[in-house]
Amino acid sequence: AQSVTQLDSQVPVFEEAPVELRCNYSSSVSVYLFWYVQYPNQGLQLLLKYLSGSTLVKGINGFEAEFNKSQTSFHLRKPSVHISDTAEYFCAVRIQGAQKLVFGQGTRLTINP
Amino acid sequence: EAGVAQSPRYKIIEKRQSVAFWCNPISGHATLYWYQQILGQGPKLLIQFQNNGVVDDSQLPKDRFSAERLKGVDSTLKIQPAKLEDSAVYLCASSLDLGQWETQYFGPGTRLLVL
């Protein structure tokens, strides 16, 4: 069965600093990969997704992620964060041929002024 | 376009009571999902509908949880009787179809506290 591990439960950074949120997955077959963001008291919103093709995926709000098949990783990055990026970020994986989306446990990103 | 609607937003009940949550997906979306999100964890799929049929309910605790989507539009998730460990946020999501690349759109969730 596939699983998703988000290596950091909390990541504090200063405003305008770069950030990387780490995600590793385990699967013996091809996967689709997603990053979702959850602002306080709101539902999840899709940031970006990797289906196929270029391994560098650009999403909304200046975020991007890189799919690394050899390292089974899909880390999320932003070169310069803003206070409004404070939220919980979830990595998710879906095996090709399966219906279920499996989420990681989330990383809380806190931006300090 | 209106998003996924859920009600109520918050619910507090005592253990052994019953509770029901309602979800109205985005218009035209055939696939509807219910997730349970326990504090500090990622969402876990409980049940998935395609129109009014169940696609996957393998992680639904069927002794106490039930869900229906009778007309293939809105859906209700029920817990009867509730246990303390059911305290969580219940998220509803919908997607246009079953395609694996389809984006799931989430509602704001119902926060349940069982005392």
Total length of chain B: 115
* Rounded distance between C-alpha atoms, residue A38 and residue A33, angstroms: 17
- b/e A54-63 (16+ beta carbons within 10 angstroms → b): eeebebeeeb
Searching chain A, which residue's CA lies closest to the CA of residue B50? Answer: A99
In the numeric block, the tokens 């899709």 are attached to A46
**Residues of chain A under the 50 pLDDT cut:** none
Taking only Cα atoms into account, the Rg of chain A, rounded to an integer number of angstroms, comes to 13
Closest alpha carbon within chain B to A95: B100
Please give the pLDDT value at position B12: 98
CB contact at 8 A, A21 and A81 = no
- Selecting from A32, A99, A106 the residue whose C-beta is nearest the C-beta of B48 gives A99
**Residue corresponding to tokens 């926060």:** B111
Average pLDDT across chain B, whole number: 93
pLDDT value of position A96 = 74
**DSSP character string of B34-96:** EEEE-TTS--EEEEEEETTEEEE-TTS-TTTEEEE-TTSS-EEEEESS--GGG-EEEEEEEES
Tokens of B44: 């876990």
- Residues forming beta bridges with residue A4, ordered by sequence position: A25
- pLDDT tens digit string along B33-72? 999 999 988 999 999 999 989 999 999 999 999 999 988 8
A8 touches chain B (CB under 8 A): no
Where does the pLDDT of residue B101 fall: very low under 50, low under 70, confident under 90, or very high at 90 and above? low
Mark yes or no for CB contact B42/A101 under 8 Å: no
Q: What is the pLDDT of residue A42?
A: 84
pLDDT band at B100; cut points 50, 70, 90: low
Tokens representing residue B12 in the block: 């507090």
Only one residue has tokens 């990783």, namely A73
> In a 3-state reduction of DSSP, which class is residue B48?
strand
Selected for mutation to probe chain A from B4, B26, B33, B37 (highest A CB count within 10 Å) is: B37
Partner-chain residue, chosen from B100, B106, B107, that has the shortest CB–CB distance to A94: B100
Q: Residue A44 and residue A65: Cα distance in Å, rounded?
A: 18
Which residues in chain B are closer than 8 Å to A106, comparing Cβ atoms? Answer: 40-42
Instruction: Give me the pLDDT at residue A48, please.
Output: 94
A43/B55 touch (CB, cutoff 8 Å), yes or no: no
